Amino acid sequence: MADHDVLRPVGYRRTPAGILATVARYLALSVAAVLFLLPFYLVLRNGFATEQEITAQGWRLFPDRVHWENIGELLDDPAVPMLRSLVNSVVVSVAQTVGQLLFASLAGYGLARIPYRHSKKVFYAVLATLMIPAAVTFVPSFVVVSTLGWISDLRGLVVPVMFSGFTAFLFRQYFLAFPAELEEAARIDGLGHWGTYWRIVVPNSLNFFAAIAVITFIGSWNSFLWPLVIGQDQSAWTVQVALSTFITGQSINIHELFLAAALSVLPLVLMFVALQRFLVRGAAETGIKG
């Protein structure tokens, strides 16, 4: 960002005190940055080190060399279902994101644009669900899902989380601000609500869809409590549940555990770096935890 964006009285920074303050700021920020990056570094360091190097007495910043062979060791280890759980995570997160976007966007559009006698009541019923975070009601949700026979079943991981009142609310707000002239034009061309939605509204809203998709995907990938409750069998573990099982008890080689953690974080870190601006705007505008 350009220097003139910084808000300061003219000439202020040129005084010795001003220069000192700037130096102090950069110093503080640099120390903080090192601390913030340290955990990422530790994941990589431990993931690509040998067991002896991790548990050695003298703590060294860099092990002798990067042990790439750890990757093969991790993926071949029959005791550690890491590949399976990564695949589960991909399936669950993608399905959850697609489902949430589909149902919530349709509902948001209906609530925003289709006049109907009971529309207001339905809207309030959606709003009411925002008062109680889903995590707080995991016991009741478990009861329903177990009745459906979806324990240790990917459906149980995906379907109950596909109906987000908050996402529907965000879509409704977005569609309220969508330029009505575009829809009018489609209407004149003889398209109904359905045709207008799919041919005009959605293609012109891809940015918004993408922003919600990214945020939903990250939330889904990192979620833990619900996958822990539902994924009781190893076959239904997501990567977070698999990692947790080894963190909280079952013995495993430490370097394999850290490497698995690195593999689970990598896709999101890449996504973050690539979509930085997008996410920052999304976080600031919606207040959604990524």
Q: Which two tokens stand for residue 253?
A: 């080689």
8 binds other proteins (CB under 8 A): yes
Nearer to other proteins, 72 or 140 (CB): 140
Q: Under rule CB under 8 A, which residues in 94-123 are in contact with other proteins?
A: 103-104, 106-107, 109-117, 119-120, 122-123
Stretch of 68-76, 77-85, 201-209, 268-276 contacting other proteins, by CB under 8 A:
268-276
44 binds other proteins (CB under 8 A): no
Among 79, 125, 182, 206, which residue interacts with other proteins (rule: CB under 8 A)? 125
Among 48, 150, 166, 174, which residue interacts with other proteins (rule: CB under 8 A)? 166
52 binds other proteins (CB under 8 A): no
Among 79, 182, 269, 274, which residue interacts with other proteins (rule: CB under 8 A)? 269
Stretch of 63-71, 90-98, 185-193, 202-210 contacting other proteins, by CB under 8 A:
185-193
37 binds other proteins (CB under 8 A): yes
Among 33, 87, 182, 206, which residue interacts with other proteins (rule: CB under 8 A)? 33
253 binds other proteins (CB under 8 A): no
201 binds other proteins (CB under 8 A): no
